[in-house]
Amino acid sequence: MVHAFSEKGSAKGKDYCILFNSLWAPLPHDLGKASLLQLQNQTVSVLCSPSDVPEGGFSNTIPMVMRGNCTFYEKVRLAQINGARGLLIVSRERLVPPAGNRSQYEEIDIPVALLSYADMLDIGKSFGRSVKVAMYAPSEPVLDYNMVIIFIMAVGTVAVGGYWAGSRDVKKRYMKHKRDDGAEKHEDETVDVSPVMICVFVVMCCSMLVLLYYFYDDLVYGIIGIFCLAASVGLYSCLSPFVRRFPWGKCRVPDNNLPYFHKRPQVRMLLLALFCVAVSVVWVVFRNEDQWAWVLQDALGIAFCLYMLKTIRLPTFKGCTLLLLVLFVYDVFFVFITPYFTETGESIMVEVAAGPTDSATHEKLPMVLKVPRLNFSPLALCDRPFSLLGFGDILVPGLLVAYCHRFDIQVQSSRVYFVACTTAYGIGLLVTFVALALMQKGQPALLYLVPCTLLTSFVVALWRKELGMFWTGSGFAKELPQPPLVISPVSCPKPPKEASPLVSRPEADEQTTNPTLHTEEPNSGPSCSGEPPASSPGAEEQTESSEQAGAPTPCIEEQTAQQEGAPESKNLPVEQSQSD
């Protein structure tokens, strides 16, 4: 910030935004400790040669010159040689921190900053030509209330996504052989992640991150387009279960040969698809509106994460461990190790996530949840500061939470694993926020989330003595058993013993051993094989043995047995007469 006020004291001071590079020279964090110096307006020159220096130089003042025609180093070097205490460079373009190299930073010991052309005009209009200024860099608050919003969004997304994925997966196994009631499927297919796919995925992540670091301006629009497409699909997947509950709009599109429309989707689902695409298009158009566009980006991002958690499935805890450990190393390496290899000393991960400062497009990657800082700060004049949380910090632990919920349902453990893993994720996120406040620099969230979630799941499985099943995912590779067929018994009237036909001993034995076999006359109802006729000696013996054993024979009625057994019942009297 540069605080300007008139030397005559006729006007109140005012803050203006400046962008500086602390590697040239640091600035005090408090306005009271900043030096008040005379501002010397030299915007008629660019200060690229000694001829641009006025007579008498810049003794104990802060010159203000135009940007262009030479490097920042050449400008600030001329200003320092001629006695300047600082340098303000006016820019008609977007402000960027003035950069240099390490040897140039060591040579310069005065602060240099960029000021916008509009602010330069406002200073002249508000304070005239006799102006004093003080340059300072106010500190950001250590903690901000926006952390609470990010915490609720992240933990809520992990909990809802993990619960939905686990419940949907088990329900799908039971309903696998059930036909869909229409031309469109109500459930999306899941993708099981194998160790080979994990390795390929990590290699692709590393390659894409390095490519974005070197070719950010060329690839950023492609990433934005992919996000819009994926977010539209995710939003559709999240809203479709609610839209299907509406009682209207069930009519379908007429027969046609158009792509997708030939399946004759319902009108309400077609309107939902158009709505989701429209939301993504609105975000694309207004994505740089800092006042409200972040709300739309977060909503699309949460829908995308829920869709991914529902679609991608880790079948074993072994696969979960492999994925989380590999991405743990990936995150730590690109945040803490890469600064030793880059020219500017910045980490590749932070540079790509926040957007390079020297980017010509000034676009930001949308693969983050972002919430503006809620505490008041003078820095809001420059650019509304945001706190960021990447989608990977939600999806990677979320896949483990989803696996824990599926395993809970498999072993009927009252969701012990799911609750424990979700709680561990929340604790790990809190530890991340604390580390961010203490170190005042970007943190790899997986450094804290992976140990919390993995160790908690491992300890719970060990405590419940289910580590073997939990590690291999026993039962997930097989189909869950179908619910048993329950046949309710039918109460049959007890036929009188006098009217019972004579039945031979083999037939009575067959009726006793096979309770589903029964005889009936063409116009009679179902008979009860559990009460054999009294006129047959063999039947009496069998009945007595059944009573002694205490196992009564059930009486069962089946539609198919009646239909298929009708011809046999007609021939039984003939067989009986022949035996007589």
Please give the Cα distance from 18 to 135 (Å, whole number): 9
Q: What are φ and ψ of residue 252, in 5° steps?
A: -110, 165
Q: Which residues contact 319 (CB under 8 A, 6 or more apart)?
A: 193, 194, 195, 198
Secondary structure tally for the chain: helices H, strands E: 18, 12
Please give the Cα distance from 505 to 398 (Å, whole number): 67
The single residue of 52, 169, 298, 393 carrying the catalytic annotation is 393
Please give the Cα distance from 542 to 122 (Å, whole number): 111
Q: Which of 55, 98, 56 has the alpha carbon at shortest distance from 77?
A: 98
436-458 in b/e form (b: 16+ CB < 10 A) is beeeeebbbbbbbbbbbbbebbe
Q: List, in sequence order, every beta strand (DSSP E) within 136-188.
A: none
324 neighbors 454 (Cβ within 8 angstroms): yes
Q: Which of 293, 308, 284 has the alpha carbon at shortest distance from 225?
A: 284
524, HSE (Cβ side, Cα atoms, 13 Å): 14
CA angle 114, 117, 120 (to 5 degrees): 85
Quick check: is 109 catalytic? no
List, as one string, the DSSP characters of 526-566.
---TTS--TT-HHHHHHHHHHHHHT-PPP----HHHHHHTH
190-222 in b/e form (b: 16+ CB < 10 A) is eeebeeeebeeebeebeeebeebbeebeeebee
Q: Which residues contact 190 (CB under 8 A, 6 or more apart)?
A: 169, 172, 310, 311, 312, 313
User: One-letter amino acid identity for 43?
Assistant: T
Q: Which of 7, 9, 27 has the alpha carbon at shortest distance from 18?
A: 27
* H or E segment to which residue 332 belongs: helix 317-332
Quick check: is 331 catalytic? yes
Residue whose tokens read 């933990």: 155
Please give the Cα distance from 297 to 242 (Å, whole number): 21
Q: Which of 364, 196, 212 has the alpha carbon at shortest distance from 290?
A: 364
CA angle 166, 172, 173 (to 5 degrees): 95
List, as one string, the DSSP characters of 83-100.
T-S-EEEEESS-------
The single residue of 169, 298, 331, 408 carrying the catalytic annotation is 331
Phi-psi category of residue 183: left, alpha or beta, with phi > 0 → left and psi -120 to 50 → alpha: alpha
* Residues noted as catalytic: 331, 393
